Amino acid sequence: DININMMPFIVGKTFESSKLPEYVEPYWSLIKACINPELNRASHHLWDRRSNPSDLGRVYYLTIQESYVEAGSSQRRPGLHVDSPGEVRIKNEDCEATKEGVGSSQPYRGHHWGEGCAHYIGDCNKPDYGEENPSFVLQGGIYLASSVSCSCKAWNCKVAPKGVGRLGDIEHLRGALPGPGQELQAGQLYWITDRTPHESLALPEGSYRQFFRLVTSQVSLWYENHSTHNPLGVEPDPTITRVVVGDKFGDDGVEVVEPDSTRLPPTPPRPSVIKKNLFQEYYNIPVANPFDILGN
């Protein structure tokens, strides 16, 4: 089974140019569906290529989890949250330690995890605005898919940064969300921003589940202890992303790794068997209507 989290790779026109390990090739058509907006952006007549160039050649991040989920359990993180983790404590950030062994940490806010915005193509004053199958131009954001229906729920809104708790927790906002949310369906590729509310749901029956997530380039912090290194050597872009080490769930904070560090990354485990991708029959479907529309 594949179990990788936030593995960096290159946005390329082919699987080989994307510098992905062989065992994720069954997911290439799904990955390609996510990066197609960037591959097509250079020729898109409604996009300003000077102010918003294509992400071709930039670093994106891939998560795939394949596992059996017991009845009454969720495969991914339970509880209402957004992927932008709110306040993060950085050890010794902007602090002067005058004695050996002195330590401190400072809160860091404004952490992006893909960002994301969608531009509606059309006239918002027309009566068909917002109906099914409208046209959108996407920028950044996060793509999600699952092989099990109703195993994740999301809400069509965006949470302001000041409302995001530690590690993206927004359980305190549940009563303020618009409606009951939407249960995501199997085999459908969804696009959200890093501040779209969502939660993983417990399964009523035990089931094998594949989870797919692709996070675009605007990631502020890459948690080395919780992420998967690319065995082909692709690393987070130091002009956008800071690598941090330490337990993000702990109280001590994480520590920034300097870009010129010579530490050797651990070798990620390789799946013993390359399985057929259960998403294969859905490869050619369009991306679902975005949850976050510019102006919401």
* Consecutive 10-residue averages of pLDDT for the chain (296 residues): 96 96 95 88 66 87 97 94 84 44 40 51 48 62 94 92 88 93 93 93 96 94 94 95 89 80 49 41 37 33
Please tell me the predicted confidence (pLDDT) of residue 184: 95
CA dist., res. 111 & res. 99, Å (int) = 30
pLDDT at 105: 36
The identity of residue 268, as a single letter, is P
CA distances in angstroms from 43 to 10, 120, 278, 286, listed in the order given:
20, 18, 32, 19
CA distance 253 to 247: 7
Q: Which phi and psi (to 5°) does residue 137 adopt?
A: -110, 120
Pair of tokens at residue 162: 């000041």
Query: What is d(CA 63, CA 144) in angstroms, rounded to the nearest whole number?
Result: 10
In the prediction, which pLDDT does 42 show? 61
Which amino acid is it at 53?
P
Q: Structure pTM?
A: 0.78
pLDDT of the residue at 130? 45
